[in-house]
Amino acid sequence: MRTTLLLIAVASVLVSACSTTPQARSTYLLRSSSHVGTGELAKVGDAYLGTVQVASYIDQPGLVLEVAPGMIHTAKQHHWAEPLRVSLREFLNVEISAANEEALATIPSGGAAADRIDVRISQLHGDAQGHAVLVASWSLSSAKQRDEYQFAETVALDGVGYDALVTAEKQLLVQLSKAIAHELK
């Protein structure tokens, strides 16, 4: 009798587990919304994007939420389509170029006037208060000098869920790009 009841209980659990709908997986592309045209670039400056470093806790597929100070949760069903170290480089390149109204060079020009832009993303995540957080530093280096800058901003999510988080993170990255472009002028 006990064996029969145990088998019925196990079968019930298995049937109910199979009947639940699995949560849909969402994959997000980090792409600039700035217009990129086709053809020869009209204006290419001396500045170029050097290294783009990303903190290891965010350089993985899942989107990250800070659920309490110093405690994070990595999403299992909401992922970046490609590694952030790759997509952030392209995003920043397009956005800095758009804000500067001059394309960044793809390789150093070899001239002493070339500015190298190095960026470090220390934090890029959502927080428990419904904000996106971006903390970054960057440097502008030339043959004669090196200047260091910091960027730390938050923006409230315009809605709930990971879609709103991705939108807010892109907004912060555009602000960072504009701050970098401002220093290039």
Q: Which DSSP category does 112 fall into?
A: T
Residue pLDDT, tens place only, 41-87: 556 778 889 999 999 999 999 999 999 999 999 999 999 999 999 99
Q: What is the pLDDT of residue 122?
A: 98
Residues 6+ apart with CB under 8 A from 92: 49, 52, 119, 173, 176, 177, 180
N- to C-terminal Cα separation, the chain? 83
Q: What is the pLDDT of residue 144?
A: 85
Q: Are 136 and 122 in contact (CB under 8 A)?
A: yes
Q: Are 147 and 179 in contact (CB under 8 A)?
A: no
Q: Which domains does the chain have, with CATH numbers?
A: 27-184 (3.40.50.10610)
Q: Which residue has the higher pLDDT, 91 or 34?
A: 91
Q: What is the pTM of this model?
A: 0.83
> In the structure, what pLDDT confidence band is assigned to residue 10 with cuts at 50, 70 and 90?
very low
> In the structure, what pLDDT confidence band is assigned to residue 7 with cuts at 50, 70 and 90?
very low
Alpha carbon 8 to its chain's center = 49
Rg from Cα positions in the chain: 22
Q: What is the pLDDT of residue 5?
A: 46
* Lowest mean pLDDT across 94-98, 126-130, 141-145, 157-161: 141-145
- For 139, the token pair is 């440097």
Q: What is the pLDDT of residue 12?
A: 53
Residue pLDDT, tens place only, 148-175: 999 999 999 999 999 999 999 999 999 9
> In the structure, what pLDDT confidence band is assigned to residue 16 with cuts at 50, 70 and 90?
low
- For 83, the token pair is 């590694």
Residues 6+ apart with CB under 8 A from 174: 32, 95
Using CA atoms, how far residue 119 sits from 14, 23, 51, 113, 168, in Å, is: 50, 35, 6, 19, 20
